[in-house]
C-alpha cells in the first residue's frame, strides 16, 4: 500500500524484529526478549483522540 492510501484509510504498518514475554517470578515480573532473524510487519488501525483541558 502507498503511504497516502494508508493515511487516508487510518491504517499503519508496524515493523517488529522480535517480541517480549512477561513472566511472573515471585512478586516480580520479568521481561524476556525473543529476537527473530526475520522482521514482521503488522497492519493496524489508528484513530485520533482529542483530550480536553482536563485531560479526560
5-20 pLDDT tens trace = 766 777 788 888 888 8
Q: What does the pLDDT read at residue 55?
A: 54
CA distances from 33 to 41, 45, 52 (A): 18, 25, 37
H or E element: which one contains 2? none
pTM of the predicted model, to two decimals?
0.45
Average pLDDT over residues 18-34: 87
Secondary structure E strands in the chain: 11-25, 28-45
Amino acid at each position: 500500500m502507498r503511504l497516502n492510501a494508508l493515511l487516508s484509510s487510518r491504517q499503519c504498518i508496524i515493523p517488529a524484529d522480535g517480541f517480549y514475554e512477561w513472566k511472573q517470578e515471585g512478586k516480580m515480573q520479568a521481561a524476556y526478549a525473543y529476537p527473530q532473524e526475520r522482521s514482521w510487519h503488522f497492519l493496524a488501525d489508528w484513530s485520533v483522540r482529542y483530550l480536553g483541558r482536563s485531560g479526560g
